[in-house]
Amino acid sequence: MNSDNPLLAHHDDPIDYAVVRIEHVRAAIDQLIADTRIAINTIIDHQRRLPTWDGLVLAIDALDARLNNTLNSIVPLGFRAEGEWQKITFECWDRVQAFFREKLQNVELLHLYERFAASAHGRNLDWHGKAALHRTLTAFRLSGVHLPAHQRARLQALEQQVSSLNEAFFINMSRSSDNWSLHIMDEQRLHGIPALNKAAMAAAATTKGLGGWLITLEEAPYLAVIEHAQDRALREQLYRAYLTRGASADPQYDNAGVLQALAETKQEKARLLGFASFPQFNLQLKGGASPEQVVTFLEDLARQAGPGLERERQQLQAAAQQQGLVQPQPWDVVYLRKQMGHTPLSVSEDDLRAFFPLPAIVSALIDLARNLFGLVLTPASDISIWEPGVLAFEAVQDHALLGYLYIDAIARDGKPSEAAWTSYLRNRHTDADGIYHTSAAALFTSIAPGQGSAPPLLTHLDLRKLFHEFGHGLHHLLVRTANYHLSDIQKLGPGGFEIASKLLERWCWSASYLASISTHFERGTSLSVHTLQAVLDRYQAQERPKLAVELAKSLFDLDLHGSPDDGRAVQQRVEDSFGKAGAWPLAAFERPMHAFDHLVTGYDVGYYGYLWADVHAFDLFSRFEQEGLKNRATGLALQDEVFAPGAARPIRTGVEAFLNRPLSALPFLRWYGLAD
């Protein structure tokens, strides 16, 4: 093994990013894949006579960990400003995923697992061991290893086709949005937009050598205009551009065709593997719910939300008429919702952000982890980071090192402007020699950099995104299972691993909690609970229509992938889904799903998981509301029942054990005003 490559150092230590060069990346992955192939063949030879837990299961797990840890540690480098890093990182990601698919086609290896499972030792494993073995055997089955050679070859071709189509989706997105901008020289057109957003637009213009203000199709400027700009023509211009990302009059560059082709390709894959539909196949990997259960869940929510959404539409129509708009257009809807039925707030949006500077919010997150779980996050200045501004922490609980947490919060060139995500760098586990291996996670958001002498200041949406990702990080760190694959919370599926993140968001809706962590970045003063409650009431009123859009996206996801060959066009499915969800009717030009990138980043037939997790999170939070938002006993009970098992058991089991009763959707419905 090449000792000169820092990516090939001991895989349980944090990567020394300061010395990683671009040529190290591909070389490390190539060598690890080659070494892993040789090691698998050696394990097969040694285990043929008598496959064992240590010699087979844990030995293969160790190889998976070595390769995955290196790959996941490379991922943050893909968001450097230089495009070559991204290209190589994505290339390596695809190569490793292809290798793991190849591994699951190894018939000899599968037979060893099957022999071990049928042995006396396999039959007498504890429930964690049986769960791990079951997941491995299921992964082999779903890979198509049982298929004849010609069908396996077709399966491989379909996988390559999916990869190419995913790439085409993002290329189409970039073609329609990356080069779009609106240069404004008349400040009057920006009337109503918060000052901090205007400052960011001015900074964007300066970087292009322009005066005035530059508006791009990133989330922050789009929301600033569509929610606040009094210039109706400006709202329309930006809305039309934003809601046609990924769309083109040329079918070659239009994402409707890409989504249709993807759904048909995945349908063929599912049927090749013996499933009636892609949802039936894919939900095997995403939490175990059946397509029928998911559709029932979504349709029940749509039915319960319908009357409230219709009332809200009527109120908005009335508000529009009061402003002289006989028929409000889509670019008016969010703006009118912001205006109607509210007395002026005592703090502006700019004033509000000043009370939530990033350093204070990071301190609040550290404090919350300590209070709820006894988890101590200590800054680790000796750990190398991939970009200036990234924060690194050691995570300790009960005097034991659990692992490491990185927070990469600030927007920069190369990082997706709208994205917020968590990368699980390493899973905790104990190997065949009894050595404990720590976990590590990296949280990413794109909070606007500070302007002038001010630190980065967070909007309420920024707060929710950061708390959401922190929830993922806590869940990952607080798993207690010793098995490598059961420590992978992503194996819970979106409806499972999104629960912790959705739960942490609920703290951002508590006026008393936000008041306790608010601190003006210059004056050091705090906001009152009364002031924050008025702000949150207004924000909460905006969430019900967003619920309809989330329902529409989830219904579209299931519809497209459930019956892609029924002859309906993608846009017809979009309109049907929006109608069922009770969302505001679409204008003829709108193409909201052409930019629905969750469908090509692993959430296909899984987008429902956000709503599914939200219902669970509201009910979990109800216990914290009763017992205290920083109650240590409640936090530790949550860890014991929900977080600690990892993917060893369905998370719904842990949720109901924590609540000591069946799950209830009432807290969710009441908050949205959909139940008494």
Show the tokens assigned to 440: 């590590």
Q: Give me the pLDDT at residue 315, please.
A: 85
Q: Read off the pLDDT of each residue in 508-522 and give the average, rounded to a whole number.
A: 97
201 and 88 in one domain?
Answer: no
Is the pLDDT higher at 542 or at 231?
A: 231
Taking 80 as the threshold, does the pLDDT of residue 2 lie above it?
no
Q: Percent of the chain scored above 90 by pLDDT?
A: 80
Cα angle vertex 498, ends 669, 441, to 5°?
150
Residue with tokens 């002031």: 531
Amino acid at 212: G
Show the tokens assigned to 365: 């997150």
Q: Give me the pLDDT at residue 263, please.
A: 97
Taking 90 as the threshold, does the pLDDT of residue 343 lie above it?
no
Domain of residue 361: give its range.
352-541+609-671
Asked whether residue 22 is assigned to any structural domain, the reply reads yes
313 and 408 in one domain?
Answer: no
Q: Which residue pairs, CB below 8 angstroms and at least 24 apart, start in 394-403?
A: 395/477, 397/373, 397/478, 398/374, 401/438, 402/375, 402/428, 402/438, 402/439, 402/477, 402/478, 403/428, 403/438, 403/439, 403/440, 403/441, 403/477
Q: Give me the pLDDT at residue 198, please.
A: 94
Q: Please, which residues bridge with residue 182 across strands?
A: 215
Q: How many domains does the chain have?
A: 4
Show the tokens assigned to 622: 């109800």
SS3 letters across 437-494: ECEEEEEEEEECCCCCCCCCECCHHHHHHHHHHHHHHHHHHCCCCCCCCCCCHHHHCH
89 and 235 in one domain?
Answer: no
559 and 509 in one domain?
Answer: no
CA pair distance 221, 198, nearest whole angstrom:
9
End position of a domain, from candidates 226, 242, 258 = 242
Asked whether residue 156 is assigned to any structural domain, the reply reads no
Asked whether residue 384 is assigned to any structural domain, the reply reads yes
Under the banding of pLDDT at 50, 70 and 90, the label for residue 7 is very high
Question: By mean pLDDT, which of 309-313, 440-444, 472-476, 599-603 is the weakest?
Answer: 309-313
Under the banding of pLDDT at 50, 70 and 90, the label for residue 452 is confident
Taking 60 as the threshold, does the pLDDT of residue 648 lie above it?
yes
Under the banding of pLDDT at 50, 70 and 90, the label for residue 312 is confident
Residue with tokens 């922490």: 393
The dihedral region occupied by 428, where left means phi > 0, alpha psi between -120 and 50, and beta the remainder, is beta
Asked whether residue 676 is assigned to any structural domain, the reply reads no
CA pair distance 537, 552, nearest whole angstrom:
24
* Short-list 437, 504, 493, CA closest to 468: 504
536 and 388 in one domain?
Answer: yes
Taking 80 as the threshold, does the pLDDT of residue 81 lie above it?
no
**Count of residues for the chain?**
676
553 and 521 in one domain?
Answer: no
104 and 20 in one domain?
Answer: yes
Taking 70 as the threshold, does the pLDDT of residue 136 lie above it?
yes
Asked whether residue 603 is assigned to any structural domain, the reply reads no
551 and 536 in one domain?
Answer: no
303 and 231 in one domain?
Answer: no
Asked whether residue 170 is assigned to any structural domain, the reply reads no
Q: What is the DSSP letter of 57?
A: I
Q: What is the CATH number of the domain that holds 408?
A: 1.10.1370.40
Under the banding of pLDDT at 50, 70 and 90, the label for residue 319 is confident
Q: Give me the pLDDT at residue 323, please.
A: 83
Summarised one tens digit per residue, pLDDT across range 488-497 is 999 998 889 9
What is the per-residue burial (b if ≥16 Cβ within 10 Å, else e) of 416-432? ebeebebbbbbbbbebe
pTM, two decimal places: 0.93
Taking 80 as the threshold, does the pLDDT of residue 12 lie above it?
no
When computed from its CA atoms, the radius of gyration of the chain, rounded to whole angstroms, is 25
572 and 523 in one domain?
Answer: no
Asked whether residue 535 is assigned to any structural domain, the reply reads yes
Under the banding of pLDDT at 50, 70 and 90, the label for residue 101 is very high
What average pLDDT does the chain have? 93
521 and 389 in one domain?
Answer: yes
Spatial contact of 467 and 508, defined as CB atoms under 8 Å apart = yes
Q: Give me the pLDDT at residue 336, please.
A: 87
Asked whether residue 155 is assigned to any structural domain, the reply reads no
Q: Read off the pLDDT of each residue in 443-451 and give the average, rounded to a whole number.
A: 93
End position of a domain, from candidates 192, 226, 242 = 242
Q: What is the DSSP letter of 594?
A: G
End position of a domain, from candidates 146, 168, 190 = 146
Taking 70 as the threshold, does the pLDDT of residue 1 lie above it?
no
Is the pLDDT higher at 340 or at 466?
A: 466
289 and 405 in one domain?
Answer: no
Q: What is the CATH number of the domain that holds 95?
A: 1.20.1050.40
CA pair distance 208, 222, nearest whole angstrom:
19
